[in-house]
Structure 1
Amino acid sequence: MNKSVQVLGLGLLFLGMVNCKPESKENKAQEKVAAKVEETAQVVEHTILSKKPEELAAPDGMVWVSGATFEQGAISSDKTAMDHEKPAIDVTVDGFFMDATEVTNAQFAAFVKATGYITVAEKGIDWEELKKQVPPGTEKPHDSILQPGSLTFKKAKSTVPNLYDFSQWWNWTIGADWKHPNGPKSSIKGKDNYPVVQVSYEDALAYCDWANRRLPTEAEWELASRAGSYGTIYNWGDNESVLKEKANTWEGEFPVENTIADGFELRAPVKSYPPNAYGLYDMAGNVWEWTSDWYNTNYYKEIKDRNKVLINPAGAEAPFTPNNPLAKERVIKGGSFLCSASYCASYRVSARMGSSMDSSLEHTGFRTVATVEMLEKN
């Protein structure tokens, strides 16, 4: 899959667009960025695809995301933002189609039935590949650890003093995979409309190839989540008090007690909460979603020219995580049912995490995008 996003020569001329003066309060941030664009020679000949061509119908289950120029990353008023989300960068992103929901169990099952695909979690761990991601000299684990399996969540029995010790709530479970997301005795029977989880980056790419789709870039994902709400912490605004009505997250003391104030303890069926302004569901909470960008904690900091607007950025050139520099991680977005205000609050639009490309977890899935160019070639 080609990770780069093509510059599409369609739509409104960009210089004409930036001369508009948005009047709504939530568009003030976009207006500020647009003013900077006039000083950026790079975008003079760029045309932004802000409107869907009338002759091109939206594929089933997808919605149109209008192109825009905006600030990607944490806004200054977000006091819970982490260092790897800032400082914000100015980007221009062309329009595209995006799945209205996370890919569901039913959709992934159709892919597996058509192709006979076997996920990474079902194959077991390749030690030769794994040892490339751990310090030299690391001893090979017992063969029982290398059996097919994945990571599942378990509640802690008492208050956790160190929330950076993930082993207190994650458990390596033999037999956990997309058909058995919570372990070998669990099942997805009757859960066709739940998001598929326990899928690795490789698994998501395989689905995309079959469906003639691709994964979104981080910039595309954030544009879609905002749905025109620029300069806000959440995709519905800045009011956190309505969180339980907007998203499936963790309420209570993490990872000990979940009050289930939002109606679900673990994953929820797609469309259980209201969509954002573009008609996209679960862009906050429920399950994390893969993007195509490398996860590099220094990405935002290393943008050297702050007066330059990045066009369709594809993220960092290489992965980097200080506490695990050998890991090859991709950016995941949106947070999950495990995100709480006391822990990561990753239901915020700018929140981002890294996940190893060969990892599959109980709280991670994906959704796909399609560009006008992809659909016209089909």
Structure 2
Amino acid sequence: MSSCCSTAGRVGGGRAVTPDSMIALHGKAGEVVAVKGGESFVGSNEAVIAADGEGPARKVNIADFYLEIETVTNRRFADFVAATGYQTEAEKYGCTAVFSPLLTEEKLAAQNVAETPWWTRVHGAFWAMPEGPGSSIDDRLDHPVTQVSWNDAVAFAAWVGGRLPTEAEWEHAARGGNRSRCYPWGDEEPNDTDIFCNIWQGRFPYHNTLADGFLGTAPVRSYAPTESGFYNLVGNVWEWSADAFRIRSLSRQAKLRNANAAKHGDKVLKGGSFLCHKSYCYRYRIAARMGLSADSAASNTGFRIAYDQMPFNAK
């Protein structure tokens, strides 16, 4: 099963950029939920996409932590940039991956990706102009920030005194503790009638029925939250985690993928995005995962923040 975004995401050639360690810790934390740790697990013994390293399930011990209830919004990221002057990697490289149907001007398209023609590289696209020059986030301030790399996410996390969650922490929070479930809301499969998250409806990539009302991202508090209070843990945007991407297998395919991941500094993303569909990219499940280089950015990558302790300036 192919990924909806991995080919187009890498725009910096795998060149990792170390975030500015001097960024002041004065950003305001978002609203958080306290997550009780303990013995838990990550992955699944019923892996759907085994090549991604979804399984087998393995036990982990997780310390108590705090996790923001929503992904970081365009509004919060704008505050970060205004306060620090931070420049994202998409801005430095001058080109990033845009979901082609979101483009309003085809002339902005620099190059389509052969394996995934619904992605195009666009010069001048970055978080504030996510579809390139002429686009804007003015009417999307409550949507998740996109076109942000892992390095960008780490820099923002440092500004608010937090960090990215580990893959195990993210799964533990999404399952509501040490229990087995396919999705954050349970095991009921979303469809065009029962809509639990922002994913693709219709025939990917040819026709989206827009049954959920969105071709691209949705506001971060769309749809019902989990019992714990988390919004949009699956669908909408992929979420960067703290972990390096690695497949725990001795197969030849896994060894090759791990070598490539190590070469490019790939990190784990969780949750899938608005481009996921069961027929093509069935990755809006809790156990699903994807790896992209730390400098990758695209129309469907974002992040949320974790904390070891209750942030003193949380909402």
Pairs within 5 Å for 1:141-290: 148-155=94-101, 166-228=115-177, 230-241=179-190, 244-290=194-240
In the alignment, structure 2 segments of 5+ residues that lack a partner are 1-17, 19-28, 103-112
Residue of structure 2 equivalent to 1:73: 43
Going from structure 1 to structure 2, the CA distance change for 1:229 and 1:240 (only over 3 Å counts) comes to: farther
Going from structure 1 to structure 2, the CA distance change for 1:251 and 1:80 (only over 3 Å counts) comes to: farther
User: Given that residues 198 and 360 in structure 1 are in contact (C-alpha distance below 8 angstroms), is that contact kept between their aligned partners in structure 2?
Assistant: yes
How many residue pairs are counted as aligned between the two chains? 271
Distance (whole Å) between structure 2 residues aligned to residue 353 and residue 182 of structure 1: 23
| Higher normalized contact order (CA 8 Å, seq sep 6+, divided by chain length) | 2
Report how far residue 71 of structure 1 moved: 2.6
Going from structure 1 to structure 2, the CA distance change for 1:155 and 1:187 (only over 3 Å counts) comes to: closer
Residue of structure 1 equivalent to 2:270: 333
Q: Which has the larger radius of gyration?
A: 1
Going from structure 1 to structure 2, the CA distance change for 1:117 and 1:71 (only over 3 Å counts) comes to: same
> Any idea what SS the aligned residue of 1:245 has?
coil
Distance (whole Å) between structure 2 residues aligned to residue 321 and residue 119 of structure 1: 27
User: Given that residues 197 and 362 in structure 1 are in contact (C-alpha distance below 8 angstroms), is that contact kept between their aligned partners in structure 2?
Assistant: yes
Distance (whole Å) between structure 2 residues aligned to residue 235 and residue 193 of structure 1: 22
TM-score under structure 2 normalisation?
0.79
Cα deviations across residues 147-178 of structure 1 (Å, max 9, x unaligned)?
x121001259xxxxxxx964311101001100
Residue of structure 2 equivalent to 1:91: 60
User: Given that residues 72 and 89 in structure 1 are in contact (C-alpha distance below 8 angstroms), is that contact kept between their aligned partners in structure 2?
Assistant: yes
Residue of structure 2 equivalent to 1:364: 301
Going from structure 1 to structure 2, the CA distance change for 1:351 and 1:72 (only over 3 Å counts) comes to: same
> Any idea what SS the aligned residue of 2:202 has?
coil
User: Given that residues 155 and 257 in structure 1 are in contact (C-alpha distance below 8 angstroms), is that contact kept between their aligned partners in structure 2?
Assistant: no
> Any idea what SS the aligned residue of 1:87 has?
coil
Distance (whole Å) between structure 2 residues aligned to residue 83 and residue 212 of structure 1: 31
Measured on the aligned residues, the alpha-carbon RMSD in Å equals 2.6
Report how far residue 245 of structure 1 moved: 2.1
Residue of structure 2 equivalent to 1:26: none
In the alignment, structure 1 segments of 5+ residues that lack a partner are 2-58, 125-147, 157-163, 303-317
TM-score under structure 1 normalisation?
0.67
Residue of structure 1 equivalent to 2:8: none
Cα deviations across residues 239-294 of structure 1 (Å, max 9, x unaligned)?
10468521000111111111111221110011111111110101010000000100
Report how far residue 326 of structure 1 moved: 2.7
Residue of structure 2 equivalent to 1:119: 88
